[in-house]
Amino acid sequence: MHVLNVVGARPNLIKIAALSEEMRRFPEIESTLLHTGQHYDDNLSRVFFGDLGLPSPDIYLGVGSGSHAQVTAGVMVAFEKELAACRPDLVVVVGDVNSTLACAVTASKLGVPIAHVEAGLRSFDRRMPEEINRIVTDALSTWLFTTERDADENLLREGIPSEQIHFVGNVMIDTLLRYKDRALHTQVLDRFGIEAGQYAVVTLHRPSNVDHPDLLRAILGALGQIQERLPVVFPVHPRTRARIEAFGLTGQVDALPNLHVCEPLGYLDFLHLLARALVVLTDSGGIQEETTILGVPCLTLRENTERPVTLTQGTNRLIGSDPERMVIEFERILSGDIPQGHAPELWDGRAAERIVQVLLTDRSVK
């Protein structure tokens, strides 16, 4: 069985790491790794290969950045050529980035079956590009591997046959559980001069937060108030950094002495940073899941989430992007009002194992 595993962006690498390793355990599986190059920056891609022990990609498309249409079209054109050349038995796509959508559409039109890992997640907000990517990818996939029961229900409502839906757990958590102990031995806290449990972490990258000058200015203002109470580490996504510079907000950031701005970190350093934080403020989907397993309070700066299990069972609070509420909710955490969560069902480090077993036993795979 020849499996073509596709990655395009930093979160994909975390998810594919456990799956790729599990596939290598079976001689009957020939696994090829293709990187579209959607994230090509060292800090967003290459360093993760080293941290996660991933082999270098067998195929690198080198598409690079651009508008949604440019990235999607570029991946489709380049991927079509590679797919026609290697003709795998199936294509595995993960997550919800533009590369996921582009490769799913291309594979479908060439008649190559698709497995979608992390299927069925829905924010029910089609203003989010990721929501469109999720819906289309799921509609085209033969195997839909879900991380939570809500995702199964979403897919059934959309008319996906139940026999194609497999609740397997969360491959991102497989990777976290494997590397957590190693991550906690990095020296990242010393780099920032901070102590465990005595700092906050913030990440921002979604257009709804960073593409509007007044809102981004106000969010930075809220971070200014928060950093007066607690050191804040802010690994800045290249997209966010570009917006800060374009909107003339660099001076506002530089004026905050307790806001530690840095480039995106490698996987091990960032996992250490999350694990020891008092609180995390983010608009990332994956970080909502990671903080739930780490038992760290997470304040999600969005009006909705496609990962409701992190609210009902985890440590996540959905607080929107109102800067005043950001400060209020931060103060709640400081006062000891901390959400208590537990590991959701099947988030046990064995999701990749379950996925591979489904693929090995499904007679529709060659």
Give yes or no: 35 in active site: no
CB 299 within 8 A of CB 330: yes
CB 280 within 8 A of CB 201: yes
Sign of CA dihedral 107, 110, 115, 121: positive
Spatial distance between the Cα atoms of 366 and 154, rounded to a whole number of angstroms: 29
Interior CA angle at 333 toward 328 and 339, to 5°? Answer: 115
Structure tokens at 304: 């909705």
Around 16, how many Cα atoms within 13 Å sit in the side-chain half-sphere?
Answer: 31
Where do we find the tokens 């990655």? Answer: 7
- Overall size of the chain counted in residues: 366
Catalytic residue of the set 205, 212, 260, 272: 205
Give the Cβ contact number of residue 18 at 10 Å: 27
- DSSP string across 100-142: HHHHHHHHHHTT--EEEEEET---S-TTSHHHHHHHHHHHH-S
Alpha helices in the chain (DSSP H): 10-23, 47-52, 68-86, 98-109, 129-140, 149-157, 171-183, 188-192, 207-210, 213-229, 238-246, 250-254, 267-275, 285-294, 309-312, 323-334, 351-361
Secondary structure (3-state) at 298:
strand
Spatial distance between the Cα atoms of 353 and 18, rounded to a whole number of angstroms: 9
Query: For the CA atoms of the chain, what is the radius of gyration?
Result: 20
Structure tokens at 154: 């979403």
Spatial distance between the Cα atoms of 148 and 281, rounded to a whole number of angstroms: 23
CB 136 within 8 A of CB 104: yes
Residues serving a catalytic function are: 205
